[in-house]
Structure 1
Amino acid sequence: MNIVIINPPHTAIGSRIPREHLPPLGLLSLGGPLLDDGFSVQLIDAELKPMSLSEIVDEAERLQADTIMIGHSGSSSVHATVLELCHQLKARSPELTIIYGGVHPTYYWDEILAECSEVDFIIRGEGEQTCLSLMQAIRDHSPLDQIKGIAYREEGEICATPDADLIRNLDDYRVGWELIDHKNYSYWGGKRAVVAQFSRGCPHLCNYCGQRGFWTVRRHRDPVKFAKELARLAREEGVELINFADELPTGSRKAWKTFLEALIAEDVSLLLVGSTRTSDIVRDEDILHLYKKAGVIRFLLGIESYDETTLANIQKGGSTSTDQRAIQLLRQHGILSMATYVIGFEEERDRDFLKSFRHLVHYDPDQVQLLYATPHRWTPFYETVENRRVIETDTRRWDYKHQVIATPGIPAWRVFCWFKLIEVMIQLRPKVLKRMFFHRDPDYRHAMRWYTRIGRRVWFHEVFEFLFKTRHHKGNLTLKQFLGTNFAEREYSMNTKKDAPETLVSLKN
């Protein structure tokens, strides 16, 4: 069987920066177990050029694919593109078997199978074992209803098997690094780079997070084995930078400290970037020197809001004092802080945007990334905003960088002006410019300058797009009317309870 894994093209500007592409870790993670079981596996990374849909179809035909697997890290915003790609693939080769996985199809499995006849199977939840079991069953003509974590059609009915078992030991499944040519992937200003994952899941209860429930329970890899894998990538593949895909790589202080010490002992030159919580940075004040020695150059910190009431409403579990302290501690150790700040959790007024700017100045992060609140149907947050008006009906723009739900009382153009003004004013502060040009650490200066170059391109692109291409929906369409009722009962994609259902679920098509 010839399996072709496809990373479809995304429409976000972040995917369109020349020489700044990272490999699709999720798809490579599926490839490793399949290769080890003897399957023929090839990757089409349509993000690299990027490729048009017709070019992808041509390449799949050239590779003589009989099974197509599709997934993408930007799962919801790329979904419309995936459906069109599936249509074109089946139109060219009706005999193809198409398997679709990722966060979005995990929750929308029944709607997708009802609406898109070209999709044959959906993988729900983590895919390593489920994909392998499905391909083995197809190859061996074994019963499909014995495979946990899939959805498919059986004699005109949509069927879903019980939830997949949680992968307890993440080291049981390897990443198929041989599916890529490492020289094609770079980040951070041309540095050879990969995405890696030390842990999965997060114990915190942020009600807007679309990832937490997908991974269900936090687990981490063996710290020493993981350090050895990164060291091998540095020595044998010339990798210079590791971008962590984890929601919370620092979640276990003991495991994280062991990893840092193991990587330091490997004595390789690597830069590490990722995301974490400010509370973990404050917790680790006494070992931040290990962060720096191991190669940590930047952590993205989810500040989200300056308002304690908003933080409580979204169940962030943080505090403004902790946020500020974390930024200070990172700076003391020569590690950049990037503060993410979200607009749209509440129904802001102009004064709220001004307060947001003032508080960001007070926090004094090295870099800032503003995002729009983007409701996922399977999160508790969705229900709190389901009666707000939708102004963006093109789901390809539901990528956190476009406003999708209205702010009552403030037109979208004014929200956009605040958004872009705060971004540029934070990044052009004298303190930031001083660090960019005169910081004693060359890696620090490089990171500041690189982000400024990327940010400038994206900033002007987004302004141009808003002025000349954006057409917001003018009606009174609510979020609930547009997407449907809340999927909160599906939030946890893998059932870990003893009383989990053990029978096949069938829905009339």
Structure 2
Amino acid sequence: MKIVLINPPHTAIGSRIPDDHLPPLGLLSVGGPLIDDGHIVGLIDAEFGPMTIAEIVSRVAASGPDLVLIGHSGSTSAHPTARAIAEAVKHSDRAIRIVYGGVFPTYHWREVLAETEAFDILVRGEGEETMRRLAGTLTAGRPLATVPGIAYRNGDGEILATQPAQAFADLDAYRVGWELIDHRHYSYWGGKRAVVMQFSRGCPHLCNYCGQRGFWTRWRHRSPELFAREIARLYREEGVELINLADENPTSSRKAWLAFLEAMIIENVPVQIVGSTRADDIVRDADILHLYRKAGVVRWLIGMENTDEATLTLIKKGGAKATDREAIRLLRQHDILSMATWVVGFEEETLSHLLRGFRQLLSYDPDQIQALYVTPHRWTPFFRIARDRQVIETDIRKWDYKHQVLKMRHLNPIVLVACVKLIEVAVQARPKALLRILFHRDREQRHSMRWYTQMGRRVWFHEILEFLFRRRHLKDGPTLENFWGAPQDSEEESMLRPQRYVKSLDAAE
């Protein structure tokens, strides 16, 4: 079977402003097993350009595929573009079957199949094994009902879903299809040849707003030694200099993470590793942070979410302000950059909350900050808590964490965005931060901070201009539940749990 994978161009500011692009790991992860099964697979990465829909359709037509698979890591905000591409491809050739995968279609499969006939089949949950089975079933002409983990229409137009697929226990069982990309075209941090990779999937913590935890169903990790070996091969054969970990929480198991660090040190390749983790894991690993740095870890994004204790309790973050501050101090001690995420837009926030948050950020003293806006997903427990809040942004392309989408009780949007933009400037331009950018003792870290500052400055001005001239918030919008539908947290886990891990991961390492 001839299969074309499409990575839609994303409208998010973070995708359009930087000159760097990272490869679409999800599609490559599905592409590898399909190639190994004997299918002819190609990739259209429409982020470059970005491509117009007409250009994408032309590329698809030139490939002459039997099957098109569309997916994007930012699947909620990318959905309108994915739908437009599917409709255009289907209009050009109705014989092409179109498959759609990702977090958003996994949970919104009923609505997606009802709103357009362009998508023939949706993949729910992890795609590697499901797409293998689906491609094999289509090739052999067997009934779709035999494939777990999909949704589709039957011959009568009825929308159906098969039983959930089982999350696979062995993350090393399927390889990433790196041959689908030209590594020379992908970079990060100002031109460093880069890829996205996963050491683990899922997260064992119970933050009730997380849209990823349930999608992966259970925290699992790759073989530390095999993962380090793959990174080393990408450096030696493809010149990859930087690894961006897409994990929610790669350090969940100290034992597994330490084994990976030691394996990377043995490989002895000068790659840089960036990713995100929890502050309490950093504090837990205070005695081995020198190994983090020796293995190539140069920056962690730490999900602090908020500095208000009541808000942290509401979202069940499970962290503590003292731990957050100590994690940043420890990282700096080992020349590892820290990026603190700070989420705003909670219903009861006032100016005093924002001022207190600003002071707390200053006391944390992070190297970088990333301000995000509350963005509830229907399949998370937090959606049920926020179900009666009013939606002020109905364009779901803006549901990308970088735009306010929910009404606040005490602050109107112009006040909130003004405060956030001022706080970003004040934190990033404080004397301590500027001195590090100019005189950090590590040349590579100086380069990283300067690149982030330059990109952040461009994004900052773009966000201000967009807010002033391109956005129109609703004054009396629908409730969150009326906009998206009833809470779906009873379906939060998208797959059946992998049997091998049920016992071994219930016991904390």
The Cα of 1:474 is off from its aligned counterpart by 2.0
The Cα of 1:406 is off from its aligned counterpart by 0.8
Equivalent-residue separation in structure 1 for 2:183 and 2:408 (angstroms): 44
SS across alignment from 2:3: strand
Change (3 A) 1:373 1:216: same
Query: Amino acid of the residue matched to residue 169 of structure 2?
Result: R
Deviations for 1:380-421, whole angstroms, at most 9, x for unmatched residues?
Answer: 111111111111110000000000001112111000101111
Equivalent-residue separation in structure 1 for 2:143 and 2:458 (angstroms): 52
Equivalent-residue separation in structure 1 for 2:326 and 2:139 (angstroms): 56
Match of 2:229 in 1: 228
Deviations for 1:13-70, whole angstroms, at most 9, x for unmatched residues?
Answer: 1111353100000000000000001000000000122101111111100111221000
Query: Amino acid of the residue matched to residue 312 of structure 2?
Result: L
Match of 2:89 in 1: 89
Equivalent-residue separation in structure 1 for 2:249 and 2:392 (angstroms): 32
Matched, 1:386 2:387: yes
Match of 2:75 in 1: 75
Match of 2:454 in 1: 453
Correspondences of 1:88-487 after superposition (within 5 Å)? 88-155=88-155, 156-487=157-488
CA contact (8 A) 1:310 1:346 kept: no
Deviations for 1:324-378, whole angstroms, at most 9, x for unmatched residues?
Answer: 0000000000000000000023421111111110000010000000000001011
Equivalent-residue separation in structure 2 for 1:86 and 1:475 (angstroms): 32
Equivalent-residue separation in structure 2 for 1:160 and 1:4 (angstroms): 24
Query: Amino acid of the residue matched to residue 28 of structure 1?
Result: L
SS across alignment from 1:172: coil
SS across alignment from 2:151: strand
Query: Amino acid of the residue matched to residue 195 of structure 1?
Result: V
Q: Which blocks of at least 5 consecutive residues in structure 1 are unaligned?
A: 499-509
Per the normalisation by structure 2, the TM-score is: 0.97
The Cα of 1:441 is off from its aligned counterpart by 0.7
CA contact (8 A) 1:389 1:476 kept: yes
The Cα of 1:115 is off from its aligned counterpart by 1.5
Equivalent-residue separation in structure 2 for 1:324 and 1:363 (angstroms): 5
CA contact (8 A) 2:169 2:498 kept: no
Q: Which blocks of at least 5 consecutive residues in structure 2 are unaligned?
A: 500-509
Deviations for 1:206-234, whole angstroms, at most 9, x for unmatched residues?
Answer: 00000000001000000000000000000
Match of 1:9 in 2: 9
Change (3 A) 1:47 1:60: same
SS across alignment from 2:257: helix
Match of 1:503 in 2: none
Query: Amino acid of the residue matched to residue 179 of structure 1?
Result: L
Equivalent-residue separation in structure 2 for 1:409 and 1:274 (angstroms): 35
Equivalent-residue separation in structure 1 for 2:456 and 2:8 (angstroms): 24
Match of 2:36 in 1: 36
Equivalent-residue separation in structure 1 for 2:378 and 2:396 (angstroms): 13
Match of 1:496 in 2: 497
The Cα of 1:154 is off from its aligned counterpart by 1.0
Query: Amino acid of the residue matched to residue 111 of structure 2?
Result: E
Query: Amino acid of the residue matched to residue 114 of structure 1?
Result: A
Deviations for 1:92-139, whole angstroms, at most 9, x for unmatched residues?
Answer: 111110000000000011111111111100000000000010000000
The Cα of 1:497 is off from its aligned counterpart by 9.1
CA contact (8 A) 1:148 1:161 kept: yes
Deviations for 1:283-306, whole angstroms, at most 9, x for unmatched residues?
Answer: 000000000001111000011111
CA contact (8 A) 1:234 1:270 kept: yes
Equivalent-residue separation in structure 2 for 1:27 and 1:223 (angstroms): 23
Correspondences of 1:57-68 after superposition (within 5 Å)? 57-68=57-68
Query: Amino acid of the residue matched to residue 117 of structure 2?
Result: S
CA contact (8 A) 2:90 2:118 kept: yes
Per the normalisation by structure 1, the TM-score is: 0.97
Query: Amino acid of the residue matched to residue 413 of structure 1?
Result: I
CA contact (8 A) 1:341 1:370 kept: yes
% identical aligned pairs: 60
SS across alignment from 2:193: strand
SS across alignment from 1:369: strand
Once structures 1 and 2 are overlaid, which stretch shifts more, 69-78 or 466-475? 466-475
CA contact (8 A) 1:205 1:315 kept: yes
Equivalent-residue separation in structure 1 for 2:298 and 2:343 (angstroms): 23
CA contact (8 A) 1:386 1:479 kept: yes
Deviations for 1:250-298, whole angstroms, at most 9, x for unmatched residues?
Answer: 1111111111111111111100000000000000000000000011110
Equivalent-residue separation in structure 1 for 2:307 and 2:445 (angstroms): 27
Equivalent-residue separation in structure 1 for 2:350 and 2:103 (angstroms): 33
Deviations for 1:177-204, whole angstroms, at most 9, x for unmatched residues?
Answer: 0000000000011000000000001000
CA contact (8 A) 1:147 1:161 kept: yes
CA contact (8 A) 1:121 1:152 kept: yes
The alignment covers a number of residue pairs equal to 498
CA contact (8 A) 1:19 1:185 kept: no
Match of 2:506 in 1: none
Once structures 1 and 2 are overlaid, which stretch shifts more, 484-493 or 331-340? 484-493
Query: Amino acid of the residue matched to residue 307 of structure 1?
Result: D
